[in-house]
């Protein structure tokens, strides 16, 4: 069974700039979630993407 991971608002990691467009409602939700944390919009999105990729990899491994 897949290990359940808990999302953690990340600290600012070293990054490379990449332009991505987001719907305004998603931007508003992310900005509300990071308010009061030492976290940027980009760091939040990177962590969410990292977890999504790990979930996809686990699903792929379970199907094999």
SS3 12: coil
Give me the pLDDT at residue 54, please: 94
Q: What is the per-residue pLDDT across 15-40, written as a single tens digit (0 to 9) for each?
A: 788 899 999 999 999 999 999 999 99
Q: Name the domain count of the chain.
A: 1
Q: Please list, residue by residue across 28-61, b when 16 or more beta carbons sit within 10 angstroms of its beta carbon and e when fewer do.
A: eebeeebeeeebbebbbbbbeeeeeeeeeeeeee
Domain assignment present for 17: no
pTM higher than 0.85: no
Residue 58: inside a domain, yes or no? yes
Structural domain for 56, as ranges: 39-64
How much is the pLDDT for 11? 74
Residue scoring higher pLDDT (3 or 5): 5
């Amino acid at each position: 069974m897949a290990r359940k991971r808990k999302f953690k608002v990340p600290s600012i990691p070293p990054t490379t700039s990449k332009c991505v467009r987001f719907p305004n409602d998603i931007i508003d939700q992310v900005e509300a979630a990071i308010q009061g944390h030492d976290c940027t919009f980009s760091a939040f999105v990177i962590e969410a993407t990292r977890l999504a990729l790990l979930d996809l990899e686990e699903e792929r491994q379970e199907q094999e």
